[in-house]
């Protein structure tokens, strides 16, 4: 399972990086963090570590609730996406005045990332 987590982490990291490259101009308009030309190596390393934690947690949870295959993993991914990052991002919009478009940008990234995680781990199981 360690190999599956590492391979899936790399894939999810690449998808997330591509997401922010594709939506970089939008991100730059909405947030000073998006205006940075290129993230520093330590930020990229930290982001990869966050991705490994996400993938490992998803793998452990999928195993604990006995999710097998891609359809079940995608269902779990959608549930987790709606229940956690969407709720947290909605709170940041409501209470911290984060622009809706910025929250939607991050929610889209998380959805793309968790879908890749679900498909790859679903195939692996």
pLDDT tens sequence across 44-100 = 999 999 999 999 999 999 999 999 899 999 999 999 999 999 999 999 999 999 999
Tokens for 52, please give them: 């490994």
Model pTM greater than 0.95? Answer: no
pLDDT band at residue 112 using 50, 70 and 90 as cut-offs: very high
The H or E element spanning position 94 is helix 85-96
Supply the pLDDT for residue 4.
94
Q: What is the pLDDT of residues 8-26, one digit of tens each?
A: 999 999 999 999 989 988 9
């Amino acid at each position: 399972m360690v190999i599956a987590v590492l391979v899936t982490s790399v894939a999810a990291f690449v998808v997330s990086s591509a997401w922010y490259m594709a939506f970089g101009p939008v991100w730059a308009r909405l947030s000073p963090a998006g205006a940075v030309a290129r993230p520093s190596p330590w930020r990229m390393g930290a982001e990869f570590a966050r991705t490994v934690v996400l993938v490992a947690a998803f793998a452990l949870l999928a195993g604990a609730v006995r999710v097998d295959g891609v359809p079940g993993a995608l269902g779990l991914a959608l549930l987790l996406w709606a229940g956690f990052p969407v709720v947290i991002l909605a709170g940041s919009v409501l209470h911290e005045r984060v622009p809706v478009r910025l929250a939607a940008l991050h929610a889209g990234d998380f959805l793309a990332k968790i879908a890749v995680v679900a498909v790859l781990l679903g195939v692996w199981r």
